[in-house]
Amino acid sequence: MHSSQFKVRLGLFVAGGFILFAFAIFLIGRQKNLFNPVFKLTTTFYNVGGLQVGNNIRFSGINVGTVENIRIINDSTVKVDLIIQKDVQRFIKTDCQAAIGSEGIIGDRVLMISQGSSDAQMASDGQALTSVEPVEMDAIISSLSATAANAEVITAQLAEVMSNINHGNGTLGRLIQDSTIAKNIDQTIINLKKSSKGLDQNMEAAKSNFLLRGFYRKKEKKAEKAKEEAVKLKEETK
């Protein structure tokens, strides 16, 4: 009795193992496009920037294939073989470009194919695409470090300037903190207003002067004539 139960359990365990194995093979095959019609493309890079065999290939933001093989051709060229789903071949043109990106900041590397022009020919099986060299993460980090250092220096300088202003140091600090300077500025503005008012009065007086009256009348007539000519020109253009 115990022997038959053991055999049944063993059979179920083996059957379950086969089912899981077949399911795993299906998932892997689907991911690697083993069960779908495919075509192949190639491209070359000077540096693949961590790209590995099996990484995804994206076109228009959609996974359309996988990296099949990566091999060094010479000291300046690395060839990358691509497997692409057959149903997207008609969208990939001969002038498309291959570039290497990543899934997020620290995610796996991804090979991305840019969209080509609508009037270009469709890429054929085995077509070699041009590539765009990837930006190394070390270079990005170095650039960010330099930017952060510059920002730190600028922040320290701004803090020093604000401290001097708050303590009344420097021209701007004295201007803000010293009430005497503020009063002098107010008085200067008042004097300018008075001078402007006096100038207006002098101009009115000059207009009343019989020696200058003819000059101002001539000027007014000239302005009226120019206005009439403008109105006449406007009516003629209608």
Per-residue confidence (pLDDT) for residue 23, from 0 to 100: 60
Neighbours of 58 (CB within 10 A): 17
Q: What percent of the chain is predicted at pLDDT more than 90?
A: 26
Q: What is the per-residue pLDDT for 134? A: 77
Q: How far apart are CA 167 and CA 53, in angstroms?
A: 64
Strand (E) or helix (H) holding 130:
strand 127-132
Least confident of 46-55, 65-74, 153-162: 153-162
pLDDT at 78: 94
Is the Cβ–Cβ distance between 113 and 146 less than 8 Å? no
- The per-residue pLDDT for 227 is 73
- The average pLDDT across 207-212 equals 53
pLDDT of amino acid 128: 93
Q: What pLDDT is attached to residue 59?
A: 93
**Contact predicate 109/49, CB 8 Å:** yes
User: What per-residue confidence (pLDDT) applies to 108?
Assistant: 82
Q: State the Cα–Cα distance between residues 164 and 168, nearest whole angstrom.
A: 6
Examine the pLDDT at 211 and tell me if it is beyond 60. Answer: no
Site of tokens 């099986």: 125
Q: What is the pLDDT of residue 200?
A: 63
Give the whole-number percent of the chain exceeding pLDDT 70: 56
β pairing state of 77-85 and 97-102 = unpaired
Structural tokens at position 27: 């998932």
Query: Average pLDDT of the chain?
Result: 76
What is the helix (H) or strand (E) element at residue 64, kind and residue range?
strand 62-74
Least confident of 39-48, 175-184, 218-227: 175-184
Instruction: Give yes or no for residue 223 having a pLDDT over 80.
Output: no
pLDDT of 217 strictly over 90? no
Beta carbons of 125 and 84 less than 8 angstroms apart:
no
Structure tokens at 94: 């001969």
Mean pLDDT of 178-182: 61
pLDDT at residue 99, rounded to an integer = 92
Task: Tell me: pLDDT of 17 over 70.
Answer: yes
Alpha carbon distance 169, 184 (integer Å): 19
| 191 token code pair | 């004097």
Residue 166 amino acid letter? N
| Average confidence (pLDDT) over 177-199 | 67
> Residue 79: phi, psi to the nearest 5?
-95, 135
Measured in Å, how far apart are the chain's first and last C-alpha atoms?
113
Comparing 156 with 141, the larger pLDDT belongs to 156
CB atoms within 10 A of CB 45: 21
- The pLDDT tens digits of the residues spanning 73-109 come to 998 899 999 999 999 999 999 999 999 988 866 678 8
Q: Are strands 109-113 and 56-59 parallel, antiparallel or unpaired?
A: parallel
What is the C-alpha to C-alpha distance for residues 238 and 221, in angstroms, rounded to an integer? 26
Instruction: Decide: 90 and 35 in contact? Cβ < 8 Å.
Output: no
